[in-house]
Structure 1
């Protein structure tokens, strides 16, 4: 059975409103018939450094821990690719049958500029 967990720094810093939003997304998506890694969107934003922030709920439906070590990700909106990057986060491992929120940062210049990035999908490539 899929469980929701928060990385320690997220657990401390997350507002009650954001925690409720993430718990709601988890409830809606935890029973998806899937046997791999799936990313459920939470929010997208451009920060003060003009980086694209893509926050997702990482679902590890596999029987093995999922480490963020040189993984290639593609962010697309309505099937059109907008950002691509390779990510390594040695401190983050999503255990088997666990869902965990995380933000992936695409630096300025690594994504196509547009007016809106909402309703996109993040996926492994």
Structure 2
């Protein structure tokens, strides 16, 4: 095993790689409900029980772990520490395996990709990560990943800005239409068929992505604005939505309406798109006579200070 860190003049250790994160539900079908109230999760250093480290390396890993940004709930990440040539044709990549769940996880055979700063694939290899042992809840475990020439697509590897990432398996399930019972019972068969065909013709959302697509917007006689959206779930698991803040803009880019919607037991099944109509009462209309020949509606992102 190579020395973990090469330092000159007592320089502080430095992370030369970037971080990549995935949903623990996507990767492992694992979540922890108690993390829902936590916005940021700081992981504690966890050394494999069979590793024997010098005090200097122990300090360096502790220092670098503290430099890692906090994770969101239900995430697993790979945070690049260093990349060095072990011998000709063999490269040792050291990275933290980070677990934001409150419970321990065990990884198994997993394909990882080595990427440059522009996410171009430099190499790919399948590892048996059960060797890394059980990763405790809310912890970071350093681990070594060996790549050889046969795993790499280039002989020129960057010294900085690279990252190691999980390669998730593409969904084998075709993206399809998901109708709420009330819609299924009241919508005409021809309209159901049109929606079904549209969903199947659209490019599916990216893996793990949830996005909104506008279908129809119209001002009613009572002054209310009805906006029908297609909520598209690219996850392998069902999702539940409770609060959706929406903003509508017209053809001129002006804000027409803005408001928050509370949904009860609203679920979008895995790899499906569900239509739903959001009704903005006239009190929330901010522009009369809006040009709705072209429009867009989107969830309002929370602003961070």
Q: TM-score normalised to the size of structure 2?
A: 0.37
Shift of 1:34: 6.2
Name the SS for the 1:24 alignment partner.
helix
Q: Over residues 8-30 of structure 1, what are the superposed CA-to-partner deviations in whole Å (9 max), with x where a residue is unaligned?
A: 01001001332233123212324
Root-mean-square deviation (Å): 2.1
Are positions 1:12 and 2:185 aligned together? yes
Counterpart position of 1:94? 268
Q: Aligned pair in 2 of structure 1 residues 35, 22: CA closer, same or farther (>3 Å)? A: same
Shift of 1:120: 1.7
Match among 263, 278, 281 for residue 107 of structure 1? 281
Higher RCO (C-alpha under 8 Å, 6+ residues apart) = 1
Q: Aligned pair in 2 of structure 1 residues 37, 55: CA closer, same or farther (>3 Å)? A: same
Counterpart position of 2:242? 69
Separation of aligned partners in 2, 1:41 and 1:21: 15
Name the SS for the 1:116 alignment partner.
coil
Q: Is the 8 A contact 2:232 2:273 kept in 1?
A: yes
Unaligned runs of 5+ in 1: none
Separation of aligned partners in 1, 2:221 and 2:296: 23
Counterpart position of 1:83? 257
Deviates more, 1:95-104 or 1:110-119: 110-119
Separation of aligned partners in 1, 2:248 and 2:290: 15
Q: Aligned pair in 2 of structure 1 residues 35, 89: CA closer, same or farther (>3 Å)? A: same
Are positions 1:42 and 2:215 aligned together? yes
Separation of aligned partners in 2, 1:100 and 1:51: 22
Task: Provide the aligned length of Structure 1 versus Structure 2.
Answer: 125
Q: Over residues 59-93 of structure 1, what are the superposed CA-to-partner deviations in whole Å (9 max), with x where a residue is unaligned?
A: 01134543332221111234432211111111321
Q: Aligned pair in 2 of structure 1 residues 64, 74: CA closer, same or farther (>3 Å)? A: farther
Separation of aligned partners in 2, 1:30 and 1:20: 18
Q: Is the 8 A contact 1:41 1:119 kept in 2?
A: no
Counterpart position of 1:123? 298
Counterpart position of 1:22? 195
Q: Over residues 99-123 of structure 1, what are the superposed CA-to-partner deviations in whole Å (9 max), with x where a residue is unaligned?
A: 1111011110212222432332221
Q: TM-score normalised to the size of structure 1?
A: 0.83
Q: Over residues 34-68 of structure 1, what are the superposed CA-to-partner deviations in whole Å (9 max), with x where a residue is unaligned?
A: 64222222211122321100112110113454333
Q: Is the 8 A contact 1:38 1:59 kept in 2?
A: yes
